[in-house]
Structure 1
Amino acid sequence: MSIQMDGPRLFGHGAQLALAVVMAAVLLPASLQSVRVSDVSAPWVFVLTVAVLALHVCVATARRWAIPSFAIGTVGCAVLLVAPDIDGVTDFSETSRYSPVLLPSVLCFFALLYAVSAHTTSPWPTAALGVGLVGSLLTLVRLWEFTAAPIEAWAWWLLLSTTAIGGTIAAWALGRYRATRAAWTSQLAERAAADERRRIAREMHDVVAHSLAVMVSHAEAGRLVVPNSPERAAEILTTIADSGREALTEMRGLLGVLRDESASTEPQPGLDDLPALVERVRASGVDIELSTDEQLRTTPAVGLTIYRVVQEALTNVARHAGHRPRARVSVTAVGAGIVVRVTNTGSSTEATGIGKGLVGMRERVDAVGGTLSAGPTEDGWAVEVRVP
């Protein structure tokens, strides 16, 4: 799996730059024209022009530098709020005058508020909302005497208050929704990655623990048997080599999945591989009886789970059940499910809670919707699994 990191960008993401271009194309010409033809003094024309341009530039930089852009945009809106009344292309009548805070470019403030709410952490979103609400109230106070609107006064104040306060709350709420959704998506990705790490750890544990147990058992048996029966040395060494080779093959398959290699890997083991598994463990000195339904078929995931459970259980038998242990493995269909039972004579460290094999088996079984029970019997240990 390859990860590509985005390089630094002057304006952040392309979508933010596109938004700034659209808002500038729609709002900026009328705002600049109104300032240009207004009858205020030249210094105020310059200040208002800078404030309007700053609002639009801040929209372009809000994704990359949300807090500084919001702060500069807030100062620009404050300048428009305290500036003297103007008349221009956006007035309602030839004799009307209005505060520059009614210029179309003031709508850029909502985009800046959204950026802070969506892309920053506490306490900045709350602080930005407070600034927006205070600015909305000051705007209403500043426009209290403005009665030149071509609609009824009550309708004008309803429209103005809804736009100022409602727009502020809506922009903030949309930003918080976006931030919450992004955090939720990130948590899902982290959870999926953690689940995958646990799955790989279980696979590695099953492969390595089983193969090493078989190899160690053969090596110990060889140390005792070869001096008296030299002819069996080749057989014992062959079994050790086969176990190691199988472990390497499975580990290469797991590493290939981690690297996202396109080359095909060996198929995962399943029910059909149980006889070979039993034979390998039997060769290490464990007397095993295997019984399975001939026509039993299941999904690859369930088949792999059954194989790994039997593998782990027999590995524990080989490692902990004492000298010449006996085990029995049965895989039978019961109703709409499959029951797997592994019993053995002798003791087991799993009975005392030592080791993580039982935990790994339970996680595997839970993943396919099954149940697992394990515990000591009168003469040994039993593991029983029921899977759909």
Structure 2
Amino acid sequence: MKPKRQRHLHALDLGAALALTAVYIGFARLTADDGQPVYTGPFWLGCLIAAMVGLPVAVRRRWPLAVLVAVLAALATASLLDIPREPYAAAGLAAYLVGLAEPARRSVPALAVTLPVACGAVYLGEAVVTPAEDWRGAVGVAGLVLLVIGGAWVMGFTVRGRRAEAAREQRRRSERALDEERLRIARELHDIVSHNLSLIAVKAGVAGHVAEADPREARAALKVIEETSRSALADMRRTLGVLRTQGAPLGPAPDLDRLDLLAEEARRAGVDVDLTVRAVEGLAGGTQLTIYRIVQEALTNVVRHAAPTRCRATVEVEAREVRIDITDEGKPSAPRSAAHGLPGGHGLLGMRERAMMYGGSFEAGPRPEGGFAVSVRLPAEGNQ
């Protein structure tokens, strides 16, 4: 079914076609009361020419070039038979659609042929075949016809250019949105892989260290590795599902309710996590995901660089601000004055980027008393 707007436009074209046909039938019936040349042929021929001038306009949106050719031929014939008393309105309507709907490689040559033919037919009809004007008057009428047809084509061509530019801008926006989505997926995959592989690496080291001395502890570490691997695979399938046409079922995005699971995973990797979450209702989903990923990355760094150790993670969501603080005590064997350096790699950079994306602040560094601290402040978007 055609869009409602298209149906309205076709109805307007039909109305214009019938009106032009009726006008030209009226021209064919004019008498020579004022001494001006008039059509003197059979009435049926005048009606046929009138139909050829007006009726093709009804289908100008479907066949723009064919309609222009048909209308131009009919108008040229009418001019030579002294039928028209108007400046080629039908040709103007057809030329507008040619400029609008046809590419320049076809519409420009069509205009180049149409203007000389139309102006020549008008001049011959007005000044040569049945003179009604002197040559100056005939040139004036031909100039008016040129203005109508050329102006209509220019209008259509201009609208076509604006629509093409709007379409290009829409494509650029779509490409930017796609790039942003790819970047988001890349960040999500980095967080998933980094967090889970860190836990796996720690537990694999434990298993290798106690395999002979304490087989039970080794089996427990392998169990953690198995569970963490399955969880990571499930998260990756859900994240990559958006890239598939027939994607895997997508689960809900991680939110504040899943912070307990992060803490539990860190505990299994040897970090004693003291988690405190105080939040108001109505926090936007995107902000919750950002909080989750920041806490996940911070705990991953603790597991990777300080386990076994103690860690305090605090998330406070108020009406206007979100405060995230993660501090650890460092490795028990490390001297208090020898606080470990910045956790290397992309973890801190990823947390900083997430905070900056929401207009927040990010601070991280060694603590004077030992260990490491991460502090993030975010605007609380979406609170009700």
Shorter chain as denominator, the TM-score bin is 0.5 to 0.7
2:286 pairs with 1:301: yes
2:326 pairs with 1:336: no
Give the alignment's TM-score, normalised by structure 1.
0.65
Cα distance change of structure 1 residues 163 and 275 upon mapping to structure 2, 3 Å threshold: same
Unaligned runs of at least 5 residues, structure 1: 1-12, 40-48, 63-68, 93-97
Note the alpha carbon deviations across 1:307-343, whole angstroms, 9 max, x for none: 1111122223333x26646544222246611111234
Structure 1 residue 223: deviation in Å? 0.5
Q: What letter is aligned with 1:371?
A: G
In the TM superposition, 1:370-385 aligns within 5 A as 370-377=359-366, 381-385=372-376
In the TM superposition, 1:201-212 aligns within 5 A as 201-212=186-197
**Alignment partner of 1:114 out of 75, 90, 100:** 100
Over the residues paired in the alignment, what is the CA RMSD in angstroms?
A: 4.9
Report which of the two structures shows the higher radius of gyration computed on alpha carbons: 2
In the TM superposition, 1:1-388 aligns within 5 A as 27=17, 30=21, 60-61=62-63, 69=65, 85-87=79-81, 90-92=83-85, 102=88, 104=90, 107-116=93-102, 120=103, 124=104, 128=107, 132=111, 136=115, 139=118, 143=122, 145=126, 160=145, 163-258=148-243, 266-285=251-270, 287-297=271-281, 298-319=283-304, 321=305, 324=308, 327-333=311-317, 336-344=320-328, 345=330, 346-350=340-344, 354-355=345-346, 357-366=347-356, 369-377=358-366, 381-387=372-378, 388=380
Q: What letter is aligned with 1:337?
A: E
SS at match of 1:196: helix
Q: Distance in 1 between matches of 2:253 and 2:17?
A: 62
Note the alpha carbon deviations across 1:172-194, whole angstroms, 9 max, x for none: 12212222222222222222222
Q: What letter is aligned with 2:374?
A: V
Tell me which residue corresponds to 1:7: none
Q: Distance in 1 between matches of 2:300 and 2:158?
A: 57
SS at match of 1:60: coil
Tell me which residue corresponds to 2:334: none
Note the alpha carbon deviations across 1:99-150, whole angstroms, 9 max, x for none: xx9483563222111113xxx4xxx37x84696489558745764557969x
Contact 2:91 2:149 in 1 (8 A): no
Q: Distance in 2 between matches of 1:266 and 1:292?
A: 25
Structure 1 residue 263: deviation in Å? 9.3
Structure 1 residue 386: deviation in Å? 1.8
Give the alignment's TM-score, normalised by structure 2.
0.65
SS at match of 2:168: helix
Cα distance change of structure 1 residues 148 and 253 upon mapping to structure 2, 3 Å threshold: farther
Q: Distance in 1 between matches of 2:78 and 2:63?
A: 29
Cα distance change of structure 1 residues 310 and 236 upon mapping to structure 2, 3 Å threshold: same
Structure 1 residue 213: deviation in Å? 1.4
Tell me which residue corresponds to 1:3: none
Structure 1 residue 54: deviation in Å? 9.9
SS at match of 2:362: strand
Contact 2:313 2:326 in 1 (8 A): yes
SS at match of 1:269: coil
Q: Distance in 1 between matches of 2:353 and 2:63?
A: 48
Contact 2:21 2:53 in 1 (8 A): no
Q: Distance in 2 between matches of 1:133 and 1:325?
A: 83
- Bigger shift: residues 164-173 or 252-261: 252-261
Contact 1:30 1:104 in 2 (8 A): no
Q: Distance in 1 between matches of 2:73 and 2:10?
A: 21
Q: Distance in 2 between matches of 1:272 and 1:327?
A: 19
Cα distance change of structure 1 residues 38 and 18 upon mapping to structure 2, 3 Å threshold: farther
Q: Distance in 1 between matches of 2:201 and 2:253?
A: 24
Unaligned runs of at least 5 residues, structure 2: 29-38, 42-50, 331-339
Q: Distance in 2 between matches of 1:360 and 1:140?
A: 69
Q: Distance in 1 between matches of 2:356 and 2:63?
A: 49
